[in-house]
Amino acid sequence: MPTDTPASTFDLDVVVVGGGGHVGLPLAIAFADRGLRVGIYDLNELAVKTILSGELPFMEDGATEVLQRALAAGRLEATVDPAVVSRGEHVVVVIGTPVDEHLNPDPHAVPRALAECRQHFRHGQLLVLRSTVYPGVTQRVEKLLAGEGIDVDVAFCPERIAEGKAMEELFSLPQIVSARTPEVLARAGALFGHLTDSIVELSPEEAELAKLFTNTWRYIKFAAANQFYVMANDQGLDFDRIRHALAQDYPRAADMPGAGLAAGPCLFKDTMQLAAFTDNSFVLGHSAMLVNEGLPLYLVSKLEAKYDLANLRVGILGMAFKSESDDIRSSLSYKLKRILEFRAKSVLCTDPFVSVDPNLETLETVLANSDLLIIAAPHKQYRDIKPTVPVADVWNLLGQGTVV
């Protein structure tokens, strides 16, 4: 059983559990850069070694310099030993809620992970849940710790960054903090006050929904754009030309996104979490999922109607889930690849940033050996290609229209 622990006895200000990932690592080095003593705990030994070498395990603009600065100042350490949790006055947990093959979220994932670390928690700590969670998980964690007899304050403070912009947005965006009592709210606000002066307070249940609403709203907007694209494309019309015309000097349409393969590790997952939370009555969310997840098949079907796809070598440009990223989690480029492997003669794939897929070819190889190209992720360098074969460019990256 842990004992009461004065804050002065903790030798780390913050420990980030899951601190080697896309959410945890930027947060850890941001705290360290603001003068806090930070520990990272992560199960991924390779990620930990990479961090300690002064390099990032993934792409994140501007983060390498901050990491190296924190290491040089002696304010950051990383380990695969969970015992480091006991050394932190504040413990920030970055463990997501996964969705299974049936699109059902696992609300037990976070409590289960915390239960495995329970012997390392100490009285007097502040436990902050940072990743998106299924509504009610914060309360479940509170009951779990109380049942173990551990006097730990619990807060839910969802991350709000866009991947690739963490080192800007951690300091510029308001931080949402939520807790059960004013005292814990103040404590969580003080922690994130190291990053920004703009703190927004909610109850845990409000904050849980706020995070899900945010990601789902973006997913629905992408689905609306993709549905509009399909409508225009079926009539042989260029959606992107229409979109730019209707938004010109017209602020009420300025936020309409372009069409594209909308995916990634959060938007789809969190929309399905919200659907499960409403007992699968979230018709709009399910419709958005069908539109966005259906776009790869729609594109292939249109290409199949226009070309002799079965006798063509198809090149896919971009396998990451978004531009200028190396992250392939939930990328619809791979769904596109699977469909084409069944319908085309062969498929060649390339991406200048992705290093974890050994089957990728160089851009030069794909351009030289493809009869048809599809721009799946709109990396900036693709703007300069000079294709000699047809290109399906739903992003209009080449400026030649989006009609397929």
Q: How far is the C-alpha of 219 from the C-alpha of 221, rounded, in Å?
A: 5
Examine residue 101 and state whether it is found in any structural domain, yes or no.
Answer: yes
- pLDDT at position 7: 57
DSSP β-bridge partners for residue 88: 12
Q: Which residue range is the domain that position 352 belongs to? A: 211-392
| Residue 401 falls inside a structural domain | no
Backbone angles phi, psi at 259, to 5 degrees: -75, 160
Looking at the fold, whether 175 and 248 belong to one and the same domain comes out as: no
Q: Which residue in this structure is represented by tokens 């006991």?
A: 86
176 with 112, same domain? yes
- Please check whether residue 107 lies inside any domain of the structure: yes
Query: Considering the chain, what percentage of its residues have pLDDT values greater than 90?
Result: 87
- Shared domain check, 108 and 157: yes
Q: Is the pLDDT of residue 334 over 90?
A: yes
Last residue of a domain, one of 163, 184, 202: 202
Lookup: tokens for 97: 């809620």
| 397 within domain boundaries | no
In a domain, 398, yes or no: no
| Confidence class for position 104, pLDDT limits 50, 70, 90 | confident
Identify the domain boundary among 140, 173, 202.
202
Mean pLDDT computed over every residue of the chain: 94
CATH number of the CATH domain containing 31: 3.40.50.720
pLDDT tens profile 211-238: 999 999 999 999 999 999 999 999 999 9
Q: Are residues 268 and 331 in the same domain?
A: yes
Q: Is the domain of 219 the same as that of 194?
A: no
Residue 61 lies in a domain: yes
| Count of the separate structural domains present in the chain | 2
Tally of CB atoms within 10 A around 239: 23
Instruction: Tell me: pLDDT of 5 over 60.
Output: no
Name residue 360's amino acid: L
Same domain? 106 vs 252: no
SS3 61: coil
Tell me: do 278 and 175 sit in the same domain. no
Domain termination site, one of 147, 181, 202:
202
Task: Between 99 and 36, name the one with better pLDDT.
Answer: 36
- pLDDT, one tens digit per residue, over 291-317 is 999 999 999 999 999 999 999 999 999
50 and 185 in a single domain? The answer is yes
Residues 17 and 69 in one domain: yes
Among the listed ranges 101-115, 351-365, 387-401, which one has the minimum average pLDDT value?
A: 101-115
**Confidence at residue 3, expressed as pLDDT on a 0 to 100 scale:** 46
107 has a pLDDT exceeding 80: no
Three-state DSSP state, 93:
strand
The mean pLDDT of 190-201, rounded to a whole number, is 97
Please indicate, yes or no, if residue 244 is contained in any of the structural domains. Answer: yes
Hunting for tokens 């399909």 — which residue is that? 230
One domain for residues 215 and 198: no
Q: Please tell me the predicted confidence (pLDDT) of residue 102.
A: 67
pLDDT of residue 1: 40
Whether 403 maps to a domain, the answer reads: no
For residue 177 the two structure tokens come to 């903090």
In this structure, what are the phi and psi dihedrals at residue 326, rounded to the nearest 5 degrees? -105, 10
Q: What confidence category does residue 338 fall into, taking pLDDT thresholds of 50, 70 and 90?
A: very high
Res 2 pLDDT > 90: no
pLDDT at 19: 94
Which residues sit opposite 16 in a β-bridge? 40, 92
Mean pLDDT to the nearest integer, 337-345? 98
Question: What confidence category does residue 401 fall into, taking pLDDT thresholds of 50, 70 and 90?
Answer: very high
Give the chain's count of helices (H) and strands (E).
Answer: 13, 12
Does one domain contain both 88 and 162?
Answer: yes
Q: pLDDT by residue (tens digit) across 134-168?
A: 999 999 999 988 888 889 999 999 999 999 999 99
Identify the bridge partners of residue 350 per DSSP, sorted by sequence position. 317, 361
Taking the model in full, what pTM does it have? Answer: 0.92
* Same structural domain, 59 and 77: yes
